[in-house]
Chains A and B, each alone.
Chain A
């Protein structure tokens, strides 16, 4: 895994989990790889991986069944969706607005671009 230099690695692992859950690679209630497997997969110190697991557990995205392993929570997908939506609204969107303003792009222009993109996808 290539790491972005600014964000703590454990949060980047968390993002990796989010992505897997959002694209439904890991469905709700499904078993996910162990700490060691994740550490190997992303080539990090197991302690860092544990930190990511703990973070996700605190958020209720995953849970630990003693002796069996970690599982995506029953409402894991919804939780991740909410977390990522909030992140988008609070962190990415203000930047986008700032850029729109700076480059003097009107909302209509943006709307057209959005619709065009949607059409192409269909």
Chain B
């Protein structure tokens, strides 16, 4: 029998949406209101909504809310009263992972993007009427969007693992873990940087740390991006797979 069926994935996505409908609706509503207000206030001073301003707001809400949704769709997984029923649903682990990821990453992004753009247009129109701001719709579509998405798609799997791994204070623990990890990597990079650049005598004189970091960023950017991209994205999904496989009630 097949252990990977798109039909079951579809069923599982539908199940998550039906079960968390009120969470999703409330979250998205709050998000829309915030986007509208931020966009509107941004237009008060300079009478325009720039790309930076819009996508700043967009990302500020998009990423944390995505993380919250990720945690909410994994609630059953760690709830000792609910997970016996949940884990005995006949659906394989790759299917579970695929459907959860699809819901929290793809589906959420699509819905949120559409809502955000509609809200942006409304805010703009409102701004034009009330504040006589410029109607600059192009600021809702830009390359910035993909950067925000990239960050989310890399960070989200990490929180997905956190949502699976911890039973209580899941968000707090995941953030703490992420913080420690970031610290370790900074230190590690600093060491690497020191080793690689020792000969340049950067540490001998009055080199400023920030200057050093700038150089590191330039040096490691290509390699580092791949390294962290891989670490946070796909590898985390693999970790999530094994965490789910080994899960007991």
A and B in direct contact, judged by CB atoms within 8 A? no
Binding site for A on B (CB under 8 A): none
Which chain A residues have a beta carbon within 8 Å of chain B's beta carbons?
none
